[in-house]
């Protein structure tokens, strides 16, 4: 078999038993490419933190390579776009999450650079109240532009959000808990096919993956990680939407919940999130844009930033100019401004206190409100 295809090795790396997202990335960082991981000796593999003899043996057995080769053929046959975590087109928001997938598979024409990425999730047992909220919120997004809605293509609130996006022309992404060889539930296939025209489908599972509950919980981290904000529309006291809210909170994403009557079973989860200060109350698009500082517009935000700049020291100005509209690690900033890491770290802390920069997961930084 021809195992020279780099994509084949990358997929195989994601399939090795005992290798999770973090260890896979450690292996890739240590060896530089996926091919060399499979060519390394067991003793060399075990030098990587977290890789023991059993995992090293699994890598050396190379059993996953045949399955990976079949997946490459499936990808090529169905025009699926693979996104490796080091690729420039891998979603930047998700790349900041420690447990981001090593590789993603997408169909459609997804634009991960859209300014306002919002996840809308909730119960499978959506009420008219919940569906109506989705419709009204997304209708408003259509009038304000540059929004994309992320959800899970499940029954209830998820599919209501996707349908509203199709109705009003808002791009939407469906994150699946299985491979791109099927749609589950199958009833939503017509919706999924239409989504490919303005957004698309995304998964970190290969084809022929079994439909299992834990896979849908695992995909919730992608929904949260892709988004700037997560909105829980309706939820009982337990449910997948609340898992997504918890994950979003751990990623430092903004979480919102739609309040409901205390007697309504599918508002209890939302009400509890608000009561525990795990989510901000939201009842319309203006609330979202206010909390996210999206209502001002890019030009006004940049004007505010420029007003801050005259008070900066020369070294602080260098750091601000190096970041601009990007999200950079402290190492990248040090390289650009040619200053010692300790000095840069102290300056960044001061800039953060003064509201000029914002720190993100993974020791990444961006200009505040950019």
Mean predicted lDDT score pLDDT of the chain: 88
Per-residue model confidence (pLDDT) at position 369: 64
Side-chain-side CA neighbours of 222 within 13 Å: the count stands at 30
Q: Average pLDDT, stretch 248-263?
A: 92
Domains of the chain: 1-77 (1.10.150.20), 107-291 (3.40.50.450), 298-367 (1.10.10.10)
Q: Average pLDDT, stretch 259-287?
A: 92
Number of other CB atoms surrounding residue 239 within 10 Å: 20
Among 129, 181, 132, 176, smallest CA distance to 154 is for 176
Instruction: Express each pLDDT in 126-147 by its tens digit.
Output: 999 999 999 999 999 999 989 9
Instruction: Express each pLDDT in 319-337 by its tens digit.
Output: 898 887 788 888 888 888 8
pLDDT tops 90 at residue 155 = yes
pLDDT tops 70 at residue 191 = yes
Beta bridge partners of 38: none
DSSP β-ladder status, 81-84 and 199-203: unpaired
Per-residue model confidence (pLDDT) at position 302: 42
State both tokens at 151: 């959800």
Percentage of residues of the chain with pLDDT beyond 70: 94
Per-residue model confidence (pLDDT) at position 305: 44
Whole-number Å distance between alpha carbons of 154 and 185: 7
pLDDT tops 50 at residue 61 = yes
Q: Average pLDDT, stretch 37-42?
A: 90
Per-residue model confidence (pLDDT) at position 361: 66
Could you report how far apart the first and last alpha carbons of the chain are, in Å? 48
Give the highest mean pLDDT range of 6-20, 32-46, 186-200.
186-200
Q: At what angle do helices 240-250 and 213-226 cross, to 10 degrees?
A: 40
Per-residue model confidence (pLDDT) at position 285: 95
Instruction: Express each pLDDT in 291-311 by its tens digit.
Output: 898 975 444 444 444 444 557
Per-residue model confidence (pLDDT) at position 307: 46
Per-residue model confidence (pLDDT) at position 237: 87
Per-residue model confidence (pLDDT) at position 368: 75
DSSP β-ladder status, 172-175 and 147-151: parallel
Instruction: Express each pLDDT in 105-122 by its tens digit.
Output: 999 999 999 999 999 999
Per-residue model confidence (pLDDT) at position 142: 95
Per-residue model confidence (pLDDT) at position 2: 41
Q: Average pLDDT, stretch 36-63?
A: 88
Q: Average pLDDT, stretch 235-245?
A: 91
Higher pLDDT, 353 or 347: 347
Q: Average pLDDT, stretch 201-230?
A: 94
Per-residue model confidence (pLDDT) at position 145: 84
Per-residue model confidence (pLDDT) at position 296: 54
For the chain, state the CA radius of gyration. 22
State both tokens at 84: 């490796």
Per-residue model confidence (pLDDT) at position 280: 92
Percentage of residues of the chain with pLDDT beyond 90: 55
């Amino acid at each position: 078999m021809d195992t020279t295809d780099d994509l084949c090795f990358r997929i195989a790396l994601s399939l090795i038993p005992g290798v999770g997202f973090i260890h896979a990335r450690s292996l890739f960082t240590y060896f530089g490419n996926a091919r060399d991981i499979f060519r390394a000796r067991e003793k060399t593999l075990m030098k990587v933190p977290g890789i023991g003899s059993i995992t090293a043996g699994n890598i050396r057995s190379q059993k996953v390579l045949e399955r990976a080769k079949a997946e490459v053929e499936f990808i090529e046959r169905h025009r699926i776009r693979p996104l490796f975590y080091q690729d420039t087109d891998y979603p930047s928001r998700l790349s900041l999450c420690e447990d981001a997938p090593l590789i993603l598979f997408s169909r459609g024409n997804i634009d991960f650079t859209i300014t306002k990425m919002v996840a809308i999730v909730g119960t499978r047992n959506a009420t008219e109240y919940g569906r109506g909220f989705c419709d009204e919120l997304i209708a408003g997004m259509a009038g304000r532009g540059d929004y994309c809605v992320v959800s899970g293509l499940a029954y209830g609130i998820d599919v209501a959000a996707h349908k509203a996006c199709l109705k009003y022309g808002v791009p939407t992404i469906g994150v699946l808990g299985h491979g791109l060889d099927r749609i589950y539930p199958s009833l939503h296939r017509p919706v999924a096919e239409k989504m490919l025209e303005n957004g698309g489908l995304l998964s970190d599972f290969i084809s022929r993956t079994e439909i299992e509950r834990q896979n849908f919980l695992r995909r919730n981290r992608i929904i949260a990680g892709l988004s700037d904000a997560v909105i829980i529309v309706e939820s009982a006291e337990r449910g997948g939407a609340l898992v997504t809210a918890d994950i979003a909170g751990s990623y430092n994403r903004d979480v919102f919940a739609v309040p409901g009557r205390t007697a309504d079973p599918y508002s209890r989860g939302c009400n509890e999130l608000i009561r525990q200060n795990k989510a901000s109350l939201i009842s319309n698009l203006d609330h979202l844009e206010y909390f996210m500082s999206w209502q001002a517009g890019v030009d006004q935000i940049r004007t505010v930033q420029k007003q801050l700049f005259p008070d900066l020291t020369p070294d602080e100005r260098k750091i601000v100019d190096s970041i601009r509209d990007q999200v950079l690690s402290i190492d990248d900033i040090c390289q650009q401004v040619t200053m010692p890491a300790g000095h840069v770290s102290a300056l960044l802390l001061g800039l953060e206190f003064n509201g000029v920069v914002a720190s993100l997961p993974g020791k990444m930084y961006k200009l505040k409100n950019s």
